């Protein structure tokens, strides 16, 4: 009736090994930061680059998180995810331009209020469009990867072109809100205020997401569904509804990422989402499809790598991320933190 | 047999281009243990999965608790009181034992009294309550899998080979738990390759061959007739204990 | 004889046969049937895109793999010719060296990508090719010392292939090196297309289709799925590179926009889907329809946009720059309602 004697030792051994395996990807981030320090030499440049790398990583993570969960839950690969990034940016920036009275005022409260409004508008709209996208574009092609890729690419083009129709063919330039312009100096390094805000916002979103995934029942359903959707349904949960929810939330997050990225770059184009998708895919692949934590670490690695290399050898920035992906896939062909599929 | 909890009639199921079930007729009596027996590959697992809605029946009907559930989606069947323990156990290995159990109670929080009973039946689950389920041993995973089905009141349990590959001591733990379930009034449809367990637990038996039920009757009758066993289940019969 | 030439893969539809013959005759006689610089340009583009799309169909339609790197391979071939023509000087040798090295480089790169991504999951391939292809496109525009950057490269090809080379007159058309160049493109594309037909109808091609239908079963029967998929990728990449080389020889110019851009990748996808995936002949119809539409419909859209000037909103959608919007819609609709493409429809309606 009791546990057989060999149970306990098996447990500890597996656990220790498991923990090491879990920790290795996490350790990559400080290792890369350290390597950056050694390669760059100048501490102040290194600090500036690290902060901007982290900021970039956080933003990519916000964009990638929904995509990886959508894939994990329903095996749906959405190449149209980039459309939500662009759309979010255009909606958010339009709101900011309309609120120019608030953004130009030298008041942090008014500036942040404008940004929050912009983010809210972008997320609501991209969430709604995501809902429609799921119904019209994705639902008819469940279970067929080839068609999914083709159809979602088609959806990406259509949304991008509609942005052109609505907002015109040209890129839109914008200024960051008054109090978020410029940089603060810390330890001799110039740290842009907006990047610090982006890091804080990205981190908050990651932690909130983790909290939801770990501490709420809906989070448990999502995590369990990524591993074995059929079993979740056999326990009585309607996974389809959960999936739609995740799709909408993921689209809204992509929209948020778009706003953040637009403010970061100071310019938005309809094609920005498409270009970001390249980094997003790299992040999702090296993180392990379906893993939020993996995507987070992957995004930080990509952001840091991009910034360090752009400083050291500008021409190789994007290629360096391909190199990163190659190296990680050689180490772990399924990505850093692959989700254990029980199927 | 007057009021079966589950009745399959003329059930056909295809998986891709293969015809797996070719007209299954089966009646599962309420409050008893029905063994689903047969060689490997005759369609036992597919039968359970069709009842659960993982595969759509091409034709035929599934009547459960006086309702036709043939076209229902899987979650609706689960909510109507069918508990499922798949052959691969379907453990969420990245989740802890606790999280697995919390999820299993789909309609609300875990009932403490029920949990106490589960811990009494499967003590290792209490020991490893906060451990990741993926780190459990095979036997412990099987315990968790059955415990999950017990986390809520169920009318009918579909259990696929709960003793497969387990040490004899754990097999008897499983058998005890299943007996408890039955004592609480549940109906069980059990696929089992271990004939000794089948003999000990089963009230009724149904033997499958080539996607059909070829023999039904009291388990005791099948257990007593070795010639019949030989004919129906051939070499696959394992005689233990 | 003819059936052997087609590797036994007959069009299997009367209308399709007529259409294909029509295309063949028009392309074979293009310099004489449609004299003029612009129509010769169009005909050469059609030839090259037929080959490019057919090589993509080997991957998408026959093997069931989505790649976004096909323009990268196309570009490798084009830049191969451009670089060797620039550095080895004007001559036939440079063209051959450039084409071959482009094709080999494409096959090797495809091998590496294939081994990395196809080993794990076929869908990794789509994402990884997208990432790699865009990285290469960025790299090409940045390494302007070598590639000419955004401006691209212009170079000289043998005089026999240029308009300056005159050979008299035939059927009232002045023969020059440009026409010779066209026939070089046409014949190479025609032969390589026949080669692709041979490949998909060989035992190798049949294994690819078995894998597309059910990779688990193919693996269970004993075929090394990864090996076959990778081999198809390499072959398809090499032929795409050869198409790129021909394009470079024809244009006497390469640049990122003409060979590497994501837009061309979308064009290829659209041509395959509209023509009919997994049919090879679909590539012919898809490329013909698409290239003609691109050349002539965009002009029509401009006319329509100015005609509807007074109407609100509508002109915005009819603007020739919104060409891609309609393509995108057409693309989605064809994948849903028309998944077998024109060839599939014609064959079904036989």
Distance CA C199, CA A138 (A): 34
What pLDDT, on the 0 to 100 scale, is given for residue B19? Answer: 87
Q: Please write the tens of the pLDDT for every residue from A222-266.
A: 999 988 999 999 999 999 899 999 999 999 999 999 999 999 999
Q: Are A234 and B132 within 8 A, CB to CB?
A: no
Same-domain status, B240 and B158? yes
Helix (H), strand (E) at residue B12: strand B4-15
CA angle A218, A222, A227 (to 5 degrees): 145
Distance from C-alpha of A49 to C-alpha of A33, rounded to nearest angstrom: 10
> Rounded to a whole number, what is the distance in Å from the CA of C210 to chain A's nearest CA?
16
Same domain for B50 and B123, yes or no, is no
Domain containing B52 — which CATH number?
3.40.50.300
Q: Do C322 and A333 touch (CB under 8 A)?
A: no
Cβ–Cβ contact C327 with A under 8 A: yes
The token pair at C286 is 């898809």
Alpha-carbon gap, residue C48 to C59, rounded angstroms = 17
Verify that B162 and B240 share a domain, yes or no: yes
Report domain extents, chain C: 2-348
State the 10-residue block means of pLDDT for chain C, 350 residues long.
72 85 88 83 93 94 89 93 86 88 94 82 82 87 82 82 76 80 93 93 90 82 86 95 94 86 86 88 91 81 76 74 82 85 80
Out of B153, B174, B189, pick the residue that ends a domain: B153
End-to-end Cα, chain A, rounded Å: 29
Burial classification of residue B116, based on how many CB atoms lie within 10 Å of its CB (0-12 exposed, 13-18 middle, 19 or more buried): exposed
CB contacts of A4 in chain B (<8 Å) are: 137, 139, 167, 169-170
What is the band of B235 on the pLDDT scale with cuts at 50, 70, 90?
A: very low
The model's pTM is 0.87
- State both tokens at A74: 């329903």
3-class SS of residue B90: coil
The three-state DSSP-derived secondary structure of C68-92 is CCHHHHHHHHHHHHHHHHHHCCCCH
- Nearest CB among A2, A7, A228 relative to B92 is that of A228
Q: First CA to last CA across chain B, in angstroms?
A: 30
Task: Indicate the SS3 state at residue C55.
Answer: helix
Would you state the torsion angle of the CA atoms of residues B199, B203, B204, B210, taken in this order, to the nearest 10 degrees?
Answer: -40
pLDDT tens per residue, range B12-30: 998 877 888 999 999 999 9
Final residue of a structural domain among B108, B132, B153: B153
Average pLDDT over residues A137-153: 86
State which residue of chain C sits closest to A323, comparing Cα positions.
C132
Looking at per-residue pLDDT, the higher value among B238 and C81 belongs to C81
Whether A283 and chain C come into contact, CB under 8 Å, resolves to no
As a whole number of Å, the end-to-end CA separation of chain C is: 24
One domain for residues B112 and B169: no
Contacts of A232 in chain B (CB under 8 A): 103
Q: Give the confidence band of A126 by pLDDT, cuts at 50, 70, 90.
A: very high
Selecting from A3, A227, A340 the residue whose C-beta is nearest the C-beta of B127 gives A3
Query: In terms of domains, do B133 and B241 share one?
Result: no
Domain residue limits at B221:
30-56+71-81+154-241
- CA distance, residue C329 to nearest chain A CA (Å): 7
The reply to whether B166 and B231 lie within a common domain is yes
The pLDDT tens digits of the residues spanning C35-64 come to 788 889 899 999 999 999 999 999 998 888
Q: Are A333 and C119 within 8 A, CB to CB?
A: yes
Please give the residue of chain B at the shortest CA–CA distance from A221: B103
Residue A59, token pair as written in the block: 């933003």
What is the number of domains present in chain B? 2
- In B, residues 150-209, which contact A (CB 8 Å cutoff)? 167, 169-170, 173, 176
- Per the DSSP assignment, residues forming a β-bridge with B189 are B34, B158
pLDDT, position C1 = 63
Amino acid C340: pLDDT: 83
Work out the average pLDDT over B163-180. 87
| Residue of B215, B190, B187 lying closest to B200 (CA atoms) | B190
Please identify, among B153, B168, B199, the residue that sits at the C-terminal boundary of a domain: B153
Q: Are residues B231 and B114 located together in one domain of the fold?
A: no
For residue B138, is it within any domain?
A: yes
B166 lies in a domain? yes
What is the rounded CA–CA span in Å between residue A273 and residue A261?
10
Q: Is pLDDT of B156 > 50?
A: yes
| Distance of residue B236 Cα from the nearest chain A Cα, in angstroms | 26
Q: What six digits make up the tokens of C80?
A: 């191969």
* Predicted complex ipTM: 0.90
Burial state string for B123-154 with b = 16 or more CB within 10 A and e = fewer than 16: ebbebbeebbbbbbbebbbbbbbbbbbbbbeb
Give yes or no: residues B109 and B187 share one domain.
no
Chain A hits for B137, CB-CB cut-off 8 Å, are 4, 6-7, 10-11
Instruction: Measure CB to CB from residue C328 to each of A146, A161, A319 and give the nearest one.
Output: A161
Q: Do residues B181 and B198 both lie within one domain?
A: yes
**Cβ contacts of C339 on chain A, cutoff 8 Å:** 147
DSSP sequence for A280-298: HHHHHHHH-TT-HHHHHHH
Q: Does A6 have pLDDT greater than 50?
A: no
pLDDT for the residue A343: 41
CA distance A213 to A222: 7
- Does a structural domain hold residue B112? yes
Q: Do residue B95 and residue B111 come from a single domain?
A: yes
Question: What average pLDDT does the segment A26-46 reach?
Answer: 89
Q: Are residues B96 and B190 in the same domain?
A: no
Share of chain B above pLDDT 90, in %: 51
SS3 assignment for B137-181: CHHHHHHHHHHHHHCCCCCEEEEECCCCCCCHHHHHHHHHHHHHH
Alpha carbon of C58: minimum distance to chain A alpha carbons (Å): 14
Residues B200 and B217 grouped into a single domain: yes
């Amino acid at each position: 009736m009791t546990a057989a004697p060999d149970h306990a030792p098996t447990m500890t051994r597996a656990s220790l090994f498991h923990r090491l395996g879990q920790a290795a990807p996490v350790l990559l981030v400080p290792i890369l930061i350290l390597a950056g320090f050694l390669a760059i030499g100048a501490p102040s440049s290194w600090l500036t680059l690290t902060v901007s790398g982290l900021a970039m990583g956080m933003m990519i993570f916000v964009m990638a998180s929904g995509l990886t969960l959508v894939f994990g839950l329903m095996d749906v690969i959405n190449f149209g995810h980039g459309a939500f990034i662009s759309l979010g940016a255009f909606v958010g920036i339009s709101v900011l331009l309309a609120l120019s009275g608030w953004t130009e005022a030298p008041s942090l409260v008014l500036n942040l209020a404008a940004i929050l409004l912009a983010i809210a508008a972008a997320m609501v709209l991209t969430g709604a469009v995501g809902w429609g996208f799921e119904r019209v574009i994705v639902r008819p092609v469940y279970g067929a990867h080839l068609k999914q890729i083709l159809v979602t690419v088609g959806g990406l083009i259509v949304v991008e072109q509609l942005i052109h129709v609505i907002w015109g063919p040209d890129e839109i330039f914008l200024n960051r809100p008054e109090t978020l312009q410029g940089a603060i100096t810390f330890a001799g390094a110039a740290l842009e205020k907006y990047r610090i805000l982006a890091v804080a916002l990205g981190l908050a979103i990651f932690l909130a997401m983790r909290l939801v995934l770990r501490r709420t029942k809906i989070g448990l359903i999502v995590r369990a569904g990524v591993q074995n959707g059929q079993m979740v349904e056999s326990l009585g949960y309607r996974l389809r509804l959960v999936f739609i929810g995740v799709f909408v939330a993921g689209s809204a997050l992509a929209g948020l990422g778009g706003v953040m990225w637009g403010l970061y770059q100071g310019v938005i184009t309809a094609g920005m989402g498409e270009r970001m998708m390249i980094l997003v895919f790299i992040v999702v692949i090296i993180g392990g499809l379906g893993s939020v934590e993996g995507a987070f670490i992957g995004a930080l690695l990509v952001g840091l790598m991009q910034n360090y290399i752009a400083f050291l050898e500008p021409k190789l920035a994007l290629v360096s991320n391909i190199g990163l992906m190659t190296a990680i896939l050689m180490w772990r062909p399924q990505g850093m933190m692959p989700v254990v599929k029980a199927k | 047999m007057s009021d079966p909890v589950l009745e399959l009639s003329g059930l056909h199921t295809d998986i891709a281009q293969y015809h797996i079930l070719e007209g299954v007729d089966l009646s599962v009596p309420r409050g008893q243990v029905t063994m689903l027996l047969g060689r490997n590959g005759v369609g036992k697992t597919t039968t359970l999965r069709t009842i659960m809605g993982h595969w759509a029946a091409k034709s035929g009907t599934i009547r459960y608790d006086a309702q036709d559930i043939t076209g229902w989606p899987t979650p609706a069947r689960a909510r109507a009181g069918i508990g499922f323990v798949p052959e691969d156990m379907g453990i969420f290995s990245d989740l802890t034992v606790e999280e697995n159990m919390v999820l299993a109670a789909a309609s609300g929080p875990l009932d403490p009294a029920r949990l106490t009973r589960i811990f009494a039946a499967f003590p290792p689950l209490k020991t490893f309550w906060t451990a990741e389920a993926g780190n459990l041993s095979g036997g412990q995973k099987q315990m968790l899998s059955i415990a999950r089905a017990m986390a809520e009141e169920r009318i009918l349990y579909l259990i696929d080979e709960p003793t497969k590959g387990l040490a004899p001591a754990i097999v008897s733990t499983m058998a005890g738990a299943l007996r408890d379930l039955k004592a609480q009034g549940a109906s069980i449809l059990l696929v089992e390759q271990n004939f000794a367990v089948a003999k000990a637990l089963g009230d009724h038996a149904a033997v499958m061959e080539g996607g059909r039920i070829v023999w039904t009757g009291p388990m005791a009758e099948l257990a007593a007739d070795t010639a019949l066993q030989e004919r129906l289940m051939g070499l696959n019969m394992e005689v233990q204990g | 004889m003819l059936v052997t030439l087609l590797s036994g893969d007959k069009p299997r539809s009367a209308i399709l046969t007529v259409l294909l013959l029509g295309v063949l005759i028009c392309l074979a006689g293009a310099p004489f049937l449609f004299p003029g610089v612009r129509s010769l340009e169009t005909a050469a583009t059609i030839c090259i895109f037929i080959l490019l799309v057919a090589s993509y169909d080997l991957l998408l339609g026959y093997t069931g793999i989505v790649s976004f790197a096909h323009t990268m391979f196309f570009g490798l071939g084009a830049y191969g010719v451009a670089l060797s023509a620039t550095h080895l000087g004007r001559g036939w040798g440079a063209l051959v060296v450039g084409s071959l090295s482009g094709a080999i480089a494409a096959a090797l790169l495809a091998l590496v990508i294939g081994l990395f991504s196809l080993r794990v999951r076929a869908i990794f391939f789509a994402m990884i090719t997208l990432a790699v292809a865009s990285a290469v496109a960025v790299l090409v525009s940045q390494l302007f010392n070598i590639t000419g950057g955004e401006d691209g490269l212009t170079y000289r090809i043998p005089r026999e292939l240029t308009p300056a080379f005159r050979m008299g007159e035939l059927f009232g058309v002045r023969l020059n090196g440009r026409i010779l160049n066209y026939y070089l493109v046409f014949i190479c594309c025609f032969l390589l297309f026949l080669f692709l037909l041979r490949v998909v109808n060989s035992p190798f091609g049949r294994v690819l289709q078995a894998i597309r239908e059910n990779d688990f079963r193919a693996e269970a029967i004993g075929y090394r799925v990864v090996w076959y998929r990778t081999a198809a990728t390499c072959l398809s990449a090499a032929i795409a590179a050869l198409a790129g080389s021909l394009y470079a020889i024809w244009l006497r110019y390469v640049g990122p926009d003409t060979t590497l851009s994501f837009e061309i990748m979308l064009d290829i996808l659209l041509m395959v889907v509209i023509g009919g995936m997994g049919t090879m002949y679909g590539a012919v119809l898809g490329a013909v329809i698409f290239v003609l539409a691109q050349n002539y419909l965009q002009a029509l859209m401009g006319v329509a946009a100015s005609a509807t000037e007074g109407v609100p909103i509508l002109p915005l959608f009819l603007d020739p720059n919104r060409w891609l919007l309609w393509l995108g819609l057409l693309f989605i609709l064809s994948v849903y309602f028309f998944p077998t493409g024109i060839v599939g429809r014609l064959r079904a309606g036989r």
